[in-house]
Amino acid sequence: MMKTILVINGPNLNLLGSREPELYGNVTLEELNRELETVARKWGVNIEFYQSNHEGELIDCIHAAKGKADFLILNAGALTHYSIALHDALKAVRLPVIEVHLTNPYAREEFRHRSLVAPVALGGVFGLGTLSYRLAVEAACSILRERGAD
């Protein structure tokens, strides 16, 4: 049975390609998603995408992923730094998760230096632009394969 990775993007990530391109680049979220589909397909893994600007909708998506997805990749945007509810949702569903960010939060404002996602994530990839996402998908696929997901 084909395994599924769910990529979840939080607030403002729908504006990729036009929002602060000097920080986030010129690639749109749709373009990024197509690229990630290609990576997952090479591994024989299904990949799905979700984006919302609303904390509750992100939590509902994480809850709904239980039993449907095998792995989560999450860029929670600014919610990374203060959403206890998002942390609790990830902890509750007990799915493996990789935290991803286009920029390096530790090289930015001090309030971005704390992640509430990190304590419930297997790991994180950040600061490498869209390559952060590609590496996270590659890692998730590799972990799924190691766990006998072929």
Query: How does pLDDT run across 79-109, given as a tens digit for each residue?
Result: 999 999 999 999 999 999 999 999 888 777 7
21 has pLDDT over 80: no
88 marked among binding-site residues: yes
User: Is the overall model pTM greater than 0.85, yes or no?
Assistant: yes
* Catalytic member of 50, 87, 101, 133: 101
Helix pair 130-146, 29-43: axis angle to 10 deg: 30
CA distances from 50 to 30, 100, 104, 109, 150 (A): 11, 14, 22, 27, 24
103 marked among binding-site residues: yes
63 marked among binding-site residues: no
26 marked among binding-site residues: no
What are the DSSP E strand ranges found in the chain? 4-9, 46-51, 71-75, 97-101, 123-126
What mean pLDDT comes out for the span 44-56? 98
What mean pLDDT comes out for the span 121-137? 96
75 marked among binding-site residues: yes
Whether 133 is a known active-site residue: answer no
Whether 82 is a known active-site residue: answer no
* Catalytic member of 24, 50, 87, 133: 24
Query: Quick one: CA dihedral 50, 109, 87, 127, positive or negative?
Result: positive
Ordered by where they begin, the domains of the chain are: 4-146 (3.40.50.9100)
pLDDT of residue 104: 86
